[in-house]
Structure 1
Amino acid sequence: MQNEATLRLAIFVGLFVVLAVIERFAPRRTRPNHARRWLTNWLFVIVDTITLKALALFLPFAAVLAAADASTRGWGLLNMTELPRWLELIIVVLLLDLAIWLQHVLSHKIPALWRIHRVHHSDIEFDVTTAIRFHPVEIALSMAFKIGLVYLLGPAAWTVVVFEILLNGSSMFNHANIKLPQGFDRAVRAVLVTPDMHRIHHSVHRHEHDTNFGFALSWWDRLFGTYTQSPKDGHEKMKIGLHWQDLRPTRLLWSMAVPFFRK
């Protein structure tokens, strides 16, 4: 897995460019041109990366490194079994995706976590850059959560790489402001979260943004009763973000301070 980071970066950049181009020529919603907002969302990526690099000086602060370490030590349930590679991959993807869904639900239900997670929801628009807008504290907590799961599960490092690529790719896809034919959306939504499905999660209405928590697989929301088919205001007219905000989320320092606000 020596080239894992390069592979993931190449896929991330390539998919981001493709989705950004599609947004430009086939947008789902008309949006104003907030160049400062794009800059702020990209600055979050830089801050988040620096945070994880700093933490990696003290711990194996990456899920792939944790998987390799667990394999060396023989830790985790899957390291105690002999399964076909294809079956192990399916188990890892299903269990980790379910765990990320649960983590997302908890980030809405636990007040301290919601204060951090609402940085993501404070984005005033919904496009592919929303997928990279996360507070560094949330990124660190999310990675720590995944590392704990990896040590418990004991997956092969390559399966974690596949899952991380799927998670990052599907997150960019379902945040993209792209228009999909209704029939195609229904077909994809049977398995994966689509932009129209996840956009509802970014509605200003609390009863809507407390639904559709999935990032990759769409099954968990249907299974656990947190699925919403469509927004009450329609996709074109629905308001994105939090009810109390204005243009301040386009500023990095303001956005970084959101967890400390009382509202």
Structure 2
Amino acid sequence: MDIFAAFANKLPAQLLSPGSFFSIYALASGLLIGFAYLALRQKRRRGHVRLRPLARAFFRRGLLLHRSTRADLFYLFVNVYLTAVFIGWACLTVGPVADAVRNALTGALGPRPTSAAPDLAARALVTIVGYLAMEWGYWLDHYLKHRVPFLWETHKTHHTAERLTPLTAWRVHPLDSLLFANITALSFGAAMGATRYALGSAATFAFADVNILTAIFFYTFVNLQHSEVSLPLRGLAGRLLMSPAHHQIHHSIDPAHYNSNLGNSLAVFDWLFGTLVVPPRESPRLKFGVVEPGVDPHSITELLVSPFGAVARALTPKAAEGILTIQAVTPPMNSAAPKSDEISA
């Protein structure tokens, strides 16, 4: 009974835990920020604010009832209830990685020196280092999945979304989640092991057991990134932070946008490695999706089953011969994409 109750409570936990990116609190915060941005933009352009157009930006029928959105809802249940079971046995965890790094440093450099850093400063440093390590792991994982053919096949499911809503964040194949969990465990675990060796502690400033810097992202931009509200950051801010408009460009079917804006909450790694596209001030009226003739991107078979076969085919020797060919490692999108409604918000 306890196992059944824990299983049944998985979705309510996502919705009610303050530390969840998909909590009702984070969703409401993002919604308020989006409404405020659109209201200010409408006021600046027209001199007044009309609530109905603002509401349509988030709740119009064509968005909420689109097959893409229904497919996202299917993947919400897949990932909440099944993916953790699938990947749990095959994932590195942060603790052992951190211990291995700390022990390796101890063996190479000797016992940890006594740290004179005040507790407040040490916590601040660990918080920043941990946040940057997770962001680096996210960027590296994302970069590899857009550059290596068989990894792209695990990630492509996410890009088949033709409409963007906060549910799209759940449109992730279990193989994609498996790779992501291992890469971020390595990056974050290595950072925590190094800080434990240097400072003797890995305590962070946290909100609901989440790094406070990550929590700020959860309550500001994360749920607007998968939306059709083009809220851009430009200038220096647009080179440091991943605004909703940045991530919408990442989902664009425009070839000029392929393999760009790979960061999570930071744009700085994209800036450093040449994958950054700063969004324009006005909405570029993007279209989203992946084009594969004769393939229904929203069917359960294509969403859940086909990626396993696609990965196997991509790993064959013949497919591997094309790994350095630009065309082979570019997401299979083109200008012949089915037309979806343009962003109007």
Higher relative contact order (CA 8 A, sep 6+): 1
Q: What's the offset of the Cα at 1:213? A: 1.0
Do the aligned partners of residues 120 and 212 (structure 1) sit closer, same or farther apart at CA in structure 2, a change above 3 Å counting? same
> 2: CA distance between counterparts of 1:67 and 1:224?
30
Q: TM-score, normalised by structure 2?
A: 0.59
Q: Tell me which residue corresponds to 1:215.
A: 264
Aligned partner of 1:174 among 213, 225, 238: 225
Please show how residues 64-213 of structure 1 align to structure 2 within 5 Å: 66-67=94-95, 70=98, 75=103, 82=115, 84-154=122-192, 156=202, 158=204, 161-162=210-211, 165=215, 170-180=221-231, 185-186=233-234, 189-213=238-262
Q: AA paired with 2:128?
A: I
Matched, 1:14 2:17: no
Comparing 82-91 and 250-259, the one that deviates more: 250-259
Q: 1:48 aligns with which of 71, 76, 79?
A: 79
Flag the structure with larger Rg.
2
Taking structure 1 as reference, are residues 235 and 77 closer, same or farther at Cα in structure 2, changes over 3 Å only?
Answer: farther
Q: What does the per-residue CA deviation read over 1:123-173, in whole Å, with 9 as the maximum and x for residues that have no partner?
A: 111232222211111111111222222332226365683166466664433
Question: Percent identity, aligned pairs only?
Answer: 22
Query: In the alignment, is the contact (CA less than 8 A) between 2:239 and 2:271 conserved in 1?
Result: no
Structure 1's 38 and 173: CA in aligned 2 closer, same or farther, altered over 3 A?
same
Which digits, 9 at most, give the CA deviation of each residue in 1:239-259, with x for residues without a partner?
A: 211133689333333211342
1:253 counterpart = 2:310: no
- Looking at structure 1, the residues matched to 261 and 101 of structure 2 have their Cα atoms a distance apart, in angstroms, of 37
Displacement of 1:206 = 3.5
Partner of 1:241: 289
Aligned in 2, Cα 1:80/1:8: closer, same or farther, shift over 3 Å? farther
- Of residues 50, 57, 80, the one that matches 1:27 is 57
Tell me the secondary structure at the aligned position of residue 229 of structure 2. Answer: coil
Aligned length: 251
- Residue pair 1:124, 1:241 contacting (<8 A) in 2 also: yes
CA displacement 1:207-228 (0-9 Å, x = unmatched) = 4121111111111112211112
Structure-2 change in CA distance of 1:55 and 1:203 (3 Å): closer
How far apart are the structure 2 equivalents of 1:12 and 1:62?
Answer: 26
What TM-score results when the alignment is normalised by the length of structure 1? 0.75
